[in-house]
């Protein structure tokens, strides 16, 4: 499974349950991806239960919207502080997507390693930005 476009939404909340909507610019279709949670402590990926992915547009370009509910201090929240949510999530390509990759002679491990390296660089960059910039990338509805 190839993990794409990781984000780490962080926000303060007074609600125990919060609706999160993230938009990812991509040409992929909803059936080609699934929502994944990343735990940096265990370095493990897991499914985001109850998440939905739908087609949309962002700045006139194709995009996917990931929607799910996160509970403060629930299984998706990595921050144990009440009222603070940290939730590294993203989309991963399903096996159905692999058939759409070009046959270039490059084996999947090389593609996977390149994707992981790019994802790590993007995550490091995003972590350097302030919380307000991260908040601008998603909408939280209580």
Which one has a higher pLDDT value, 64 or 126? 64
Report the pLDDT value the prediction gives residue 98, as an integer from 0 to 100. Answer: 52
**How many residues are listed for the chain in this entry?**
142
Going by pLDDT thresholds of 50, 70 and 90, the confidence category of residue 116 is low
18-40 pLDDT tens trace: 998 989 888 999 999 999 988 88
Going by pLDDT thresholds of 50, 70 and 90, the confidence category of residue 132 is very low
82 has pLDDT over 80: yes
Beta strands across the sheet bearing 52-58: 52-58, 61-71, 17-25, 138-141
Report the pLDDT value the prediction gives residue 89, as an integer from 0 to 100. Answer: 87
């Amino acid at each position: 499974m190839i993990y794409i476009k990781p984000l780490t939404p962080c926000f303060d909340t007074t609600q125990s349950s919060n609706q999160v909507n993230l938009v990812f610019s991509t040409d992929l279709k909803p059936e080609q991806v699934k929502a994944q949670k990343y735990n940096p402590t265990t370095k493990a990926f897991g499914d985001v239960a109850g998440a939905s992915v739908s087609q949309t547009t962002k700045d006139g370009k194709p995009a996917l919207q990931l929607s799910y509910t996160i509970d403060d201090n629930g299984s998706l929240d990595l921050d144990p502080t009440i009222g603070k949510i940290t939730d590294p999530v993203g989309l991963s390509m399903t096996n159905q997507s692999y058939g759409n990759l070009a046959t270039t002679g490059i084996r999947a491990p090389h593609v996977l390693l390149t994707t992981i390296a790019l994802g790590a660089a993007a995550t490091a960059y995003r972590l350097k930005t302030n919380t307000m910039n991260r908040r601008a990338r998603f909408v939280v509805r209580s």
